Structure 1
Amino acid sequence: MKYRKLGKTGFEVSEISLGTWQVGGKWGDPFNDKNADEILNTAVDNGINFIDTADVYGSGNRESERAVGRLVNNRSERIYVATKCGRRLNPHTNEAYTPQTMRAFVEDSLSNMKLECIDLIQLHCPPNEVYYRPEIFEEFDKLKSEGKILNLGVSVEKVEQAVKAMEFDNVTTVQIIFNMFRQRPAELFFDLAKKNNVGIIVRVPLASGLLTGKFDKNTSFGKDDHRYFNRQGEAFDKGETFSGIDYNTGLEAVSALKEAFPNSNLTHLALKWILMFNQVSTVIPGASKTDHLLSNIQADKMPDLSSADMKKIKEVYDRYIKKQVHQLW
């Protein structure tokens, strides 16, 4: 496993790390503690030292954090834990964000994971107005001075939110969707993040599974799976599901990628493409099985893509994807 620096945090983190949205089972399935523990421990056994979770992950809304806490408390390795707060607010509105609620969420996560300090706490895709409220960001400086957190980051939906968040000096990382079907962050944001020494955590690297190349028009998703119920943004931001792309258009683009790279594992290609951008600190694909995790890790061993390879991927994006989604996120 190779490692990169995570911006101002100074952490040296695995290039391929682990996101835990579906770590205890597929989206919509009941959480399975045994499965989660096996995936998490296999990740650490294979050199992953950065785990991303959130206080709303898991079928009962807290199981993912608990599993991550069990991992950290039962391993001797240095494992960097990132969690998120804010999405438990109901309604999830600007007015609901207060310094007091953010503090309460941090303390809840500490208790839930049985940790004394969180390495990285991230605001979890807050409404736009929150990025204009210094008092929210200042509260995390207080929490840091009290030893409850080491660093603050943000998880964002839009490039504009990422750019605004970096105006706050205590924002050390930005988590953002970036993949072969969501290329806009590389145009401006990446260079600004590097200039400001802000770490970039890439989520949804496989476009909700589209970029594994395993789906077709007959693939079905369970009714509790966001790939079934959120295609038009019915439950949360549309861009979180298939990167906001129309499913059939996505399949056409995947077919074009397979034609352009007939001898490649598409999952590995998609992850390696992200790692070709040196501004990226880490990419956090999820895994509902250890086999998925072990496959994802193989991308770290791939040789660099050639300029011709990168050009072919951009041509597919420009032809099928760009017009539909480029300016939306």
Structure 2
Amino acid sequence: MKYRKLGKTGLKVSVVGVGTWQFGGEWGRSYDRKEAAAILDKAREVGINLIDTAECYGDHLSESLVGEAIEGNRGDWLVATKFGHHFHGPFERTDSYRPDDVVRQLEASLRSLKTDYVDLYQFHSGPDASFDTDGLWDALNRQVEAGKIRHLGISIGSNRNVYQTSRASAVNAETIQVVYNRLDRAPEEEVFPSCEAQNLGVLARVPLASGFLSGKYRPGDRFGSNDVRSRRDTAEQDRLLSEVERIRSGEVPEGTDMAAWALAWCLKHPAVSCVIPGCKDAAQVEANAAAVELVEDGHPQEA
């Protein structure tokens, strides 16, 4: 595994992390304790130290599975979770960014994660008006002072949201999480330059474009109704998968695993600290970690 400095946090983060939205049951299947533990045990074995989860991946369900899996080795992990939503059912959420409710969300996350602190607590893809909620960031910074949060971050909903990105340092947020992959390079235009100027750590989510860059899918493939990808416009999906075919034939070296190539592609950008792909099982964790073999040395954030 390779490691980078997560911006101004000073944290040493593995360049490949583990995304855990799938533990919440909205990616075509559910997970039990044993399956979640197998994934995280393999991640630890291959040197991964970042877990990204959220309050609304299930009703703190993903957090609970994570907490049970890492309870015996909490100190080996950087745990990143998020706030701002209440989960009511698959694909059904309501927003809540009121300071008092966010503190309650934090306490629920700590209980679910079986820990007394989170390493990174992230504003979860809310609109600008919610970002500017009166008293929100003051309340969060008090939780930092209390030791329940080590660092604050922002998971921007739009990968062109330079409004929230540019205000990160002013609210004491030290990281930006953003969709970034070979099919969606929008952050390169304004978000990444702002991150670099502020020395913000960058977590690239959806680095495999919801699995499209894994090389497993072709135009015409469809997903079940319990899979979040089924909500995508089918014509747009087929367009993207056609683009994947072009990338596969024109950019991926012969004999190179496409998913590993796609992760390494993201990690080449000087602003990117870490990629956080999801994974369905331990074998996929190992395959994701193998992307480091394609990552060249000399990145500005190398630890």
TM-score, normalising length: structure 2:
0.89
Change (3 A) 1:246 1:107: same
5 Å matches for 1:215-230? 215-228=217-230, 230=231
Please give the alpha-carbon distance, in whole angstroms, between the structure 2 residues aligned to 1:92 and 1:63.
Answer: 16
Is 1:258 the equivalent of 2:248?
Answer: yes
Q: What residue in structure 2 maps to residue 82 of structure 1?
A: 80
Is the CA contact 1:24–1:33 (under 8 Å) kept in the aligned structure 2?
no
User: How far did residue 209 of structure 1 move?
Assistant: 0.7
Residue in 1 that maps onto 2:40: 40
In structure 2, what is the equivalent of residue 274 of structure 1? Answer: 266
Structure 1 stretch displaced more, 63-72 or 99-108: 63-72
SS at match of 1:219: coil
CA distance change for structure 1 residues 217 and 89 in 2, over 3 Å: closer, same or farther?
closer
Structure 2: distance between partners of 1:164 and 1:135: 19
Q: Secondary structure at the match of 1:111?
A: helix
Cα distance in structure 1, aligned partners of 2:26 and 2:136: 34
How far residue 68 of structure 1 moved from its aligned partner, in angstroms, is 1.7
Q: Aligned equivalents of 1:283 and 1:204: distance in 2?
A: 8
Which SS does the other structure have where 1:151 is aligned? strand
2:236 equivalent to 1:246: yes
What is the RMSD computed on CA atoms of the aligned residues?
A: 2.2
Query: Within 1, Cα distance between the matches of 2:164 and 2:34?
Result: 36
1:134–1:123 Cα change, 3 Å: same
Instruction: Quote how far apart the aligned CAs of 1:76 are.
Output: 6.5
Aligned residues, how many? 289
Query: Structure 1 24/300 Cα, relative in aligned 2: closer, same or farther at 3 Å?
Result: farther
Please tell me the residue identity of whatever aligns with 1:231. Answer: R
Aligned to 1:210: 212
> Is the CA contact (8 Å cut-off) linking 2:124 and 2:157 kept in structure 1?
no
CA contact (8 A) 2:24 2:57 kept: no
Q: Identical aligned pairs, as a percentage?
A: 34
Alpha-carbon distance between aligned partners in 2 of 1:164 and 1:89, rounded to the nearest angstrom: 29
1:97 shift after superposition: 2.0
Give the structure 1 partner of residue 133 of structure 2: 133
CA contact (8 A) 1:131 1:165 kept: no
Partner of 1:318 in structure 2?
none
Q: Give per-residue Cα distances to partners, 1:136-183, cap 9 Å, x unaligned.
A: 111111111112111111111222244244252411111000000110
Q: How does 1:72-151 map to 2 (within 5 A)?
A: 72-75=70-73, 77-88=75-86, 92-93=94-95, 96-151=96-151
How far has the Cα of 1:278 moved from its partner?
2.0
| Cα 1:197/1:262, change in 2 over 3 Å | closer
In 1, the alpha carbon distance for the partners of 2:164 and 2:289 equals 27
Distance in 1 (CA, whole Å) between partners of 2:78 and 2:11 is 8
- CA drift at 1:231: 1.0
Counterpart of 2:300 in structure 1 is none
Structure 2 CA distance for partners of 1:188 and 1:127, relative to 1, 3 Å = closer
Match for residue 11 of structure 2? 11
Question: Is the Cα–Cα contact under 8 Å of residues 24 and 36 in structure 1 kept in the other structure?
Answer: no
The answer on whether the counterparts of 1:24 and 1:35 sit within 8 Å (CA) in structure 2 is no
Q: Distance in 1 between matches of 2:224 and 2:124?
A: 25
Residue 152 of structure 1: SS of its match in structure 2?
strand
Query: Per the alignment, do residues 11 and 170 of structure 1 end up closer, same or farther by CA in structure 2, a change over 3 Å counting?
Result: same
SS at match of 2:21: coil
* Mapped pair 1:182 → 2:184: yes
For 1:202, the aligned partner's letter is A
Q: 1:194: which partner in 2?
A: 196
Higher strand share: 2
**Bigger mean CA deviation after superposition, 185-194 or 46-55:** 185-194
Distance in structure 1 (CA, Å) of the matches to 2:16 and 2:10? 17
**CA deviation vs aligned residue, 1:291-325 (integer Å, no higher than 9, x gap):** 111111111111549xxxxxxxxxxxxxxxxxxxx
Is the contact between residue 33 and residue 69 of structure 2 (CA under 8 Å) also seen in structure 1?
Answer: no
One-letter amino acid of the structure 2 residue matched with residue 62 of structure 1: H
Once the two structures are TM-superposed, the CA of residue 18 in structure 1 deviates from its matched residue by 0.6
Give, in angstroms, the shift of residue 116 of structure 1: 0.8
Structure-2 residue corresponding to 1:301: 293
